[in-house]
Amino acid sequence: MSTSLEPSVAAAAKYEPVIGLEVHVQLLTATKIFCSCSTRFGAPPNSNVCPVCLGMPGALPVLNRKVVEYAALAAMALNCRINETSIFARKNYFYPDLPKGYQISQYDKPLAEHGFIEVPSDGGRKRIGITRVHLEEDAGKSLHEGFSDAAEKTAIDLNRTGVPLIEIVSEPDIATPDEAYEYLTRLKEIILYTGVSDCNMEEGSLRCDANVSVRPRGQKEFGTKTEIKNVNSFRFIREALVYEIARQIEVVESGGKITQETRLYNANEGKTYGMRSKEQAHDYRYFPEPDLLPLVVDEKWKAEITKALPELPEARRQRMVKEYGITDYDAQVLTFSKSLADQFEAAAKAAKNPKRVANLVQSELMGRLKAKGVEIEQSPISMKGVAVSADLVESGTISGKMLKDLYDLCFERGKDFPQVYDEEGRPQQSTDTSALEKIIDEVLAANPKQLEQYRAGKKTMLGFFVGQVMKASKGQANPQLVNELLIKKLG
């Protein structure tokens, strides 16, 4: 993306961006946070509502236990400490899709604090601090489009009011748009592994607001920040930050001042636009929610929740690199989703030689996928299929060359390995000694020069002969057997 705002390299180098992200994640509970209405996405407008989530006077909220468990699980996965006692608070503001006139959130005593996410940075790793993870209810949705007449109208759908959210607030530790992108990618991956959200950005299950400021390099105090809201992909957030940083540097360089404000990103133009000046916390008049008791997560409950904590992606990658001898890159690909990593490990563990499964994925599968431009999730050969083929090689039933040919057929036909293996009549490599000996005689007769060299002491010629015999057998010979027979024949 190119923007019209590109401060000179010299000007850009004088400044250092500071970025902090606020991420809202919708929890996958069946019912809302304070009532038993369904959270299902896509239901007819205003069908999943009741007096509690509509904010009728006198209706009382009752906290959903599952919401607390999901939120705590996510917080733990983000290395946060769970506060034994946290407090719900009212955040007061007027908005048409907020019928109560306030949102129940948490303020000075959030559910969890002091976490971090590690991101790759400069060839090493960097910790981005997580200030807090707190619980809150979602607001409704204003619909500005889809009306038959041209008049400007807005409709309100309150199905989303009271849907459970966690807000994950980062420390201003992020130094570049790329780091912001990495942070979000890791965050999403971790949350997906815990299973508490589907993190579907199109459906609004994951939303991110990006705070950004610039300061002269070496200055301690932060500059004034702006907040970019409602950006609907990680890529656009990165682009929006690139633009916004350049804009701020321009303003400051030309002697201007940054106004603290909320800005919107227009992805078509690659620009941000000022929307409104940002409210200060005191404008919200936060106060403790009188209709809800303090939330207590005691040690016993915490221990129960901890049991549901899966092995997290980074730890899993490190273990897989060690356990299967694969590269960091392949571990990254294989842990793309928890389900893929589970499939791989289940297949590898059931195979005779787990490392061979990993090797085949690395040496035979990845390249073919890449050549075809197919993601591993759409691979014609499943992890189970790789394991079946690995066992066939391991037992000597098929040769490496045969496996390669069979993989090619799988990709041509878009079918899994076991099926193609059957279709091909379950071929086996040749272990017929007399047939092989005949081929060996032919090969030796056809290559007198090489034979002479071998006899003169050039033992590396053995490899050449093995290769020739394999070729003559169309890859169907057992290489080990060929080796043995050749040595015997050559004396």
- The contact set with Zn ion (CB under 5 A) reads 35, 37, 50, 52-53
Q: How far apart are CA 119 and CA 175, in angstroms?
A: 12
Q: How far apart are CA 49 and CA 38, in angstroms?
A: 8
Q: Which of 16, 22, 178, 261 binds ligand ADP (CB under 6 A)?
A: 22
Residue 50 contact among Zn ion, ligand ADP, none, beta carbon within 5 to 8 Å by kind: Zn ion
To the nearest whole angstrom, how small is the minimum distance from the Cβ of residue 3 to ligand ADP?
Answer: 20
Window of 17-25, 299-307, 356-364, 407-415 that interacts with ligand ADP by CB under 6 A: 17-25
Whose structure tokens read 């999730």?
377
Pick the closer one to Zn ion by CB: 162 or 385: 162
To the nearest whole angstrom, how small is the minimum distance from the Cβ of residue 251 to ligand ADP?
Answer: 15
Residue 7 contact among Zn ion, ligand ADP, none, beta carbon within 5 to 8 Å by kind: none
Q: Is 343 helix (H, G, I), strand (E, B) or coil?
A: helix
Residue-wise DSSP of 184-206 = HHHHHHHHHHHTS----TTTTSE
Pick the closer one to Zn ion by CB: 56 or 487: 56
Pick the closer one to Zn ion by CB: 55 or 270: 55
Pairing of strands 112-121, 81-82: antiparallel
| Structure tokens given for 122 | 């400069």
Q: Is 30 in the site for ligand ADP (CB under 6 A)?
A: no
| Structure tokens given for 47 | 């069908």
Q: Is 445 helix (H, G, I), strand (E, B) or coil?
A: helix
To the nearest whole angstrom, how small is the minimum distance from the Cβ of residue 41 to Zn ion?
Answer: 15
| Structure tokens given for 1 | 């993306």
Query: What are the residues facing 212 on neighbouring strands?
Result: 19, 226
Amino acid residing at 98: L
Question: By rule CB under 6 A, what string of x and - marks binding of each residue 202-221 to ligand ADP?
Answer: ---------xxx--------
Pick the closer one to ligand ADP by CB: 229 or 338: 229
Q: Is 106 in the site for ligand ADP (CB under 6 A)?
A: no
To the nearest whole angstrom, how small is the minimum distance from the Cβ of residue 136 to Zn ion?
Answer: 16
Pick the closer one to ligand ADP by CB: 19 or 82: 19
Pick the closer one to ligand ADP by CB: 213 or 343: 213
**Which residues in 70-99 are b (16+ Cβ under 10 Å) and which e?**
bbbbbbbbbbbebbeebbbbbbeeeeebbb
H or E element: which one contains 273? strand 271-277
Residue 26 contact among Zn ion, ligand ADP, none, beta carbon within 5 to 8 Å by kind: none
| Structure tokens given for 238 | 């990165």
Cβ-proximal residue to ligand ADP, closest one: 20
End-to-end C-alpha distance for the chain, whole angstroms? 68
| φ, ψ dihedrals at 458, nearest 5° | -85, 85
Q: Is 21 in the site for ligand ADP (CB under 6 A)?
A: yes
H or E element: which one contains 229? strand 226-231
To the nearest whole angstrom, how small is the minimum distance from the Cβ of residue 291 to Zn ion?
Answer: 14
Whose structure tokens read 């690995």?
390
Question: By rule CB under 6 A, what string of x and - marks binding of each residue 37-76 to ligand ADP?
Answer: ----------------------------------------
To the nearest whole angstrom, how small is the minimum distance from the Cβ of residue 281 to ligand ADP?
Answer: 5
Q: Is 370 helix (H, G, I), strand (E, B) or coil?
A: helix
Q: Residues 150 to 189: which contact ligand ADP by CB under 6 A?
A: 169-172
Pick the closer one to Zn ion by CB: 20 or 140: 140
To the nearest whole angstrom, how small is the minimum distance from the Cβ of residue 208 to ligand ADP?
Answer: 10
3-state helix, strand, coil in the chain (%, to 5): 40, 20, 35
Site size toward ligand ADP (CB under 6 A) is: 16
Q: Residues 249 to 308: which contact ligand ADP by CB under 6 A?
A: 278, 281
Amino acid residing at 89: A
* CA nearest neighbour of 136 among 98, 173, 185, 174: 98
Q: Which of 90, 160, 188, 225 binds ligand ADP (CB under 6 A)?
A: 225
Residue 190 contact among Zn ion, ligand ADP, none, beta carbon within 5 to 8 Å by kind: none
| Structure tokens given for 149 | 């007449």
Cα 68 to the center of its chain, rounded Å: 23
| The CA-based dihedral angle spanning residues 244, 247, 248, 252, taken in that order and rounded to the nearest 10 degrees | 180
Task: Confirm if 317 and 335 have CB atoms less than 8 A apart.
Answer: yes
Q: How far apart are CA 338 and CA 336, in angstroms?
A: 7
Query: What length does the chain have?
Result: 491
Window of 14-22, 56-64, 79-87, 238-246 that interacts with ligand ADP by CB under 6 A: 14-22
Residue 477 contact among ligand ADP, Zn ion, none, beta carbon within 5 to 8 Å by kind: none
Pick the closer one to ligand ADP by CB: 19 or 410: 19
Pick the closer one to ligand ADP by CB: 35 or 130: 130
Residue 35 contact among Zn ion, ligand ADP, none, beta carbon within 5 to 8 Å by kind: Zn ion
Pick the closer one to Zn ion by CB: 59 or 409: 59
Instruction: Provide the binding-site residues for ligand ADP, judged by CB under 6 A.
Output: 18-22, 169-172, 211-213, 222, 225, 278, 281
